[in-house]
Chains A and B, each alone.
Chain A
Amino acid sequence: MNRNKTILYSLILAFTIVAPFAFPNFGTQLATLWLMIIVAITWDMTGGQMGYNSLGNIFFYGTGMYVAALITIGLTYDVGDYTSAAGGGIYEFTDLEYFGGMALGILGAGLFCSACAIVIGWLTFGLRGPYFAIGTLGVAIAAGELVSNWEWVGGGQGIALPVYPGDFDTGKTYFYFLFAAVGIGAFLFARWLYGTRFGSAINAIRDDEEKADAMGIHTLRYKLYTWAMAAFFVGMAGGISAFQLIHFEPLETAYQTINLGIFMVVCVLLGGKGTLWGPVVGAILFHLFKEVTWNYLLGWQWVALGALIVVTVVYFQDGVMGWLVHKKPEWFGIRVEKKVASGSK
Chain B
Amino acid sequence: MTTTIDVSGVSKSFGGVVANREVSLSVNTGTITGLIGPNGSGKTTLFNSIVGYHPIDSGSIKFESSEISELSVQQIARRGLLRTFQQTRIYGAMNGVENMLISLPHRKMSIWDALKTFTREDYERADHLLEFVGLYEKRMLKSGDLSFGQQKLLEFAMALMNEPTCLLLDEPTAGINPTLINGLIDRLKRANSEFGITLFVIEHNMRVIMNLAENIYCLAHGELLAQGTPDEIQNDQRVIDAYLGAH
Contacts and interface: CB of A to CB of B under 8 A. Distances in A.
Interface string A323-345: 00000000001111110111110
A344 B137 CA distance: 13
A interface residue count range (under 10 / 10 to 19 / 20 to 34 / 35 or more): 35 or more
A302 to B, nearest CB: 34
A341 B98 contact: no
A136 interface: no
Interface stretch (B19-27, B73-81, B219-227): B73-81
Interface residues of B, number: 49
Contacts of B142: 334
B131 interface: yes
B114 to A, nearest CB: 4
Contact of B73 (A193, A214, A225, A343): A214
Contacts of A213: 72-74, 77
A122 to B, nearest CB: 16
Interface in B113-159: 113-118, 123-125, 127-128, 130-132, 136-142, 158
A13 to B, nearest CB: 24
B94 interface: yes
Nearest to B112: A198
Nearest to B164: A216
Contact of A197 (B83, B92, B109): B109
Given A200-B98, A207-B92, A225-B111, A216 B78 contact: yes
A333 B140 contact: yes
A295 interface: no
Most B CB atoms within 10 A — which of A195, A196, A216, A218? A216
Given A211-B89, A221-B111, A341 B140 contact: no
Nearest to B101: A200
A110 to B, nearest CB: 19
A341 B127 contact: yes
B50 interface: no
Contacts of B91: 203-204, 207-208, 211
Nearest to A198: B114
A334 B89 contact: no
Given A196-B116, A343-B125, A343-B127, A337 B109 contact: no
Interface of A: 193, 195-198, 200-201, 203-204, 206-208, 210-219, 221-222, 225, 274, 333-338, 340-344
